[in-house]
């Protein structure tokens, strides 16, 4: 009887994520969007101020962050679906 209490519950493998997995996925996707966007936008803005090329580097940073974010979300989605 004691052994049965310590066993973890089996999760049905019906293709759906649990609430914990969904929260973790949303958290990961949120950071995958936020971090590249903030870092590359700020870096682009600083480069524009230094070289006087406003908004060239800002736009380049935003485009690069979109590409990076798309790749990161693809990888996270692929890993959660396994």
pTM: 0.72
Q: Is 5 within a domain?
A: no
- Counting the structural domains of the chain, the total is 1
Q: Is 6 within a domain?
A: no
Q: Is 26 within a domain?
A: yes
Q: Is 60 within a domain?
A: yes
Model confidence pLDDT, tens digit, residues 6-19: 655 554 556 677 89
Residue 53 domain boundaries: 18-80
Query: Before 25, cis peptide (omega within 30)?
Result: no
Q: Is 32 within a domain?
A: yes
Model confidence pLDDT, tens digit, residues 21-53: 889 889 989 999 999 999 999 999 999 999 999
Q: Is residue 47 a contact partner of residue 6, using CB atoms and an 8 Å limit?
A: no
């Amino acid at each position: 009887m004691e052994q049965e209490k310590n066993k973890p519950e089996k999760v049905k493998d019906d293709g759906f994520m649990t609430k914990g997995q969904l929260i973790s996925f949303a958290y990961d996707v949120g950071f995958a969007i936020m971090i590249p966007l903030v870092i590359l936008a700020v870096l682009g803005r600083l480069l524009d101020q230094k070289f006087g090329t406003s908004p060239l580097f800002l736009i380049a940073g935003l485009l690069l962050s979109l590409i990076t974010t798309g790749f990161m979300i693809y990888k996270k989605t692929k890993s959660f679906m396994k």
